[in-house]
Chains A and B, each alone.
Chain A
């Protein structure tokens, strides 16, 4: 059993007072708060061994380089990747998807090839593919969903053909909390010879990820949604596929030799890491992953599930409130709409009571169009949230109703 009160002490920001009320932070799907060990790792880096990596031969450069590479190993084990060079550091999920679309997509996809995404994708997993389709003449196909917010898997199967060359789907929906059957999606895509990318932005903090068991070709996530720093993420890719892909940004660490006549590129993973990377945040990512591992993914998931069940029941007691996204398999995300009340007004009035939720379309406008709503209010829970906080949300929402009736 996790000691939540003790865990809360690791997060100094939870002591903030907002509008005279203690902060209740329920916007974890946007970004999680950072524990002291991660904050300390950042300071320690800048205080003791800030240096540019790989190039220097002096002591600090060596220390920074080995901390940087230790993070790569940490993420390798976190995802259970076979080889350490299969982990590419990126600026986040969006950056990772763009890398794959631009490098793999531009090289291996051609006119008439079909790319499959789903109705519940984040804009980050729509726009890069649309850009590629426009450039290469590929065709974007979209897996539909039911009203509960689950993928229609038989429709997906019907879509698959020898024309399908790439499938890119979200592991866990940020707007609805739905956990998608990605193992099945990957298997079926491979059966027609397509490659698969999984957007793990929302999954990485809640679900055990094993890229070898999943057999996905690419997996992307952001550290800031995993109690880690902003501005960094990781892309996993199968080694032979990454090897076949050309670099898509030039300069810095990614070269072997440059002459004006020709440049040869570094090996994996460096050929995809041009320029000085986000060293401090990569280094602190080690600590973020370690923090999650120490608590235990399973323990975190079990506790968050308790919050989800408690929160769902509690919100269902509020008249005129309707949950959006009621999939059987869900992480701790509760999206909802209230009769006659604009989600933005819900957000403002909750904020004045110290409660932080997200409102709007959650960067999933096509999903909102499918559901026929402009947006939702969303409370998403992390390991440091409590049932008492959910009780405060209920009181807060009753107040919203009273004020706007």
Chain B
């Protein structure tokens, strides 16, 4: 599936809920399913700044795709859910696709209340970090 197909699928999933709380519950549950990352990856370098809560993001090349893994401090379940959405959409895709992705799902899932404000700082830094890694990977390849 392409990045956009994955986004469209996610948008459809969210259309099933008309209540914000149900959407949030869905995000929390997705976060719970995120595979844990190795403790070694929870470094200062991998820590994303800009959120009230702590999130670590690890990026690596696996063959010709970029692979992302992330985790949050145990109590920050909504942050973990949000990063799991990004991973669902961007992980294991070609670096140039990640670098150029237009992440329109963020507006479309209608979760402005948790994605705006301070948390947006965190989400935006996560996206920036993912794209930066992908961009550097494309430069190495070419």
- To the question of whether A and B form a pair in one complex, the answer is yes
Contact stretch, chosen from A4-12, A74-82, A162-170, A348-356: A348-356
Say yes or no: A19 contacts B52, CB within 8 Å. Answer: no
Chain A, 338-367, contact with B by CB distance < 8 Å: what is the 0/1 string?
A: 001111110011011100000110000000
A149 close to chain B: CB less than 8 A: no
Complex: A351 Cα to B24 Cα, angstroms: 11
- With a cutoff of 8 Å between Cβ atoms, the chain B residues found around residue A237 in the complex are none
B124 close to chain A: CB less than 8 A: no
Say yes or no: B114 contacts A340, CB within 8 Å. Answer: no
Say yes or no: B20 contacts A19, CB within 8 Å. Answer: yes
B38 close to chain A: CB less than 8 A: no
Say yes or no: B20 contacts A344, CB within 8 Å. Answer: no
Complex: A399 Cα to B22 Cα, angstroms: 11
Chain B, 2-21, contact with A by CB distance < 8 Å: what is the 0/1 string?
A: 00000000000000000011
Say yes or no: A403 contacts B28, CB within 8 Å. Answer: yes
Say yes or no: B21 contacts A348, CB within 8 Å. Answer: no
Say yes or no: B76 contacts A403, CB within 8 Å. Answer: no
- With a cutoff of 8 Å between Cβ atoms, the chain A residues found around residue B75 in the complex are 340-342, 345
Say yes or no: B113 contacts A352, CB within 8 Å. Answer: yes
Say yes or no: B28 contacts A404, CB within 8 Å. Answer: yes
- With a cutoff of 8 Å between Cβ atoms, the chain A residues found around residue B21 in the complex are 349, 352-353, 399, 403
A177 close to chain B: CB less than 8 A: no
A129 to chain B, nearest CB (A): 26
Say yes or no: A342 contacts B53, CB within 8 Å. Answer: yes
A339 to chain B, nearest CB (A): 9
Residue total for A at the interface (Cβ-Cβ under 8 A): 18
B25 close to chain A: CB less than 8 A: yes
- With a cutoff of 8 Å between Cβ atoms, the chain A residues found around residue B132 in the complex are none
Say yes or no: A342 contacts B113, CB within 8 Å. Answer: no
Q: A399-B21, A403-B28 are in contact. Are A345 and B77 (CB under 8 A)?
A: yes
Q: How large is the interface on B (under 10, 10 to 19, 20 to 34, 35 or more residues)?
A: 10 to 19
Which of A19, A341, A352: most chain B Cβ within 10 A? Answer: A352
Complex: A340 Cα to B77 Cα, angstroms: 10
Partner of B76, one of A345, A351, A399: A345
A375 close to chain B: CB less than 8 A: yes
Say yes or no: A344 contacts B74, CB within 8 Å. Answer: no
Complex: A345 Cα to B24 Cα, angstroms: 10
Complex: A198 Cα to B114 Cα, angstroms: 37
- With a cutoff of 8 Å between Cβ atoms, the chain A residues found around residue B53 in the complex are 342, 344
Chain B, 48-90, contact with A by CB distance < 8 Å: what is the 0/1 string?
A: 0000110000000000000000000111111100000000000
Residue of B nearest to A340 (CB): B75
Chain B, 95-133, contact with A by CB distance < 8 Å: what is the 0/1 string?
A: 000000000000000000110000100000000000000
- With a cutoff of 8 Å between Cβ atoms, the chain B residues found around residue A375 in the complex are 52
- With a cutoff of 8 Å between Cβ atoms, the chain B residues found around residue A342 in the complex are 52-53, 73, 75-79
Say yes or no: A348 contacts B113, CB within 8 Å. Answer: yes
B47 to chain A, nearest CB (A): 14
Which of B28, B75, B114: most chain A Cβ within 10 A? Answer: B75
Complex: A341 Cα to B119 Cα, angstroms: 16
Complex: A221 Cα to B113 Cα, angstroms: 32
- With a cutoff of 8 Å between Cβ atoms, the chain A residues found around residue B24 in the complex are 348-349, 352, 403
- With a cutoff of 8 Å between Cβ atoms, the chain B residues found around residue A359 in the complex are 52
Residue of B nearest to A19 (CB): B20
Say yes or no: A344 contacts B52, CB within 8 Å. Answer: yes
Complex: A375 Cα to B73 Cα, angstroms: 14
Say yes or no: A351 contacts B113, CB within 8 Å. Answer: yes
Residue of B nearest to A344 (CB): B52
10 additional contacts (CB under 8 A) given A340-B75, A404-B77: A340-B74, A341-B77, A342-B73, A342-B75, A342-B77, A344-B52, A345-B77, A348-B114, A349-B21, A352-B21
Please list the 3 inter-chain residue pairs (A to B) with the smallest Cβ-Cβ separation, ordered nearest first: A342-B75, A352-B20, A342-B76
Chain A residues in the interface with B (C-beta under 8 A)? 19, 340-345, 348-349, 351-353, 359-360, 375, 399, 403-404
Provide a sorted-by-A list of 16 A–B residue pairs whose CB atoms are within 8 angstroms: A19-B20, A341-B75, A341-B77, A342-B76, A344-B76, A345-B76, A348-B78, A348-B114, A348-B119, A349-B24, A352-B20, A352-B24, A359-B52, A375-B52, A404-B28, A404-B77
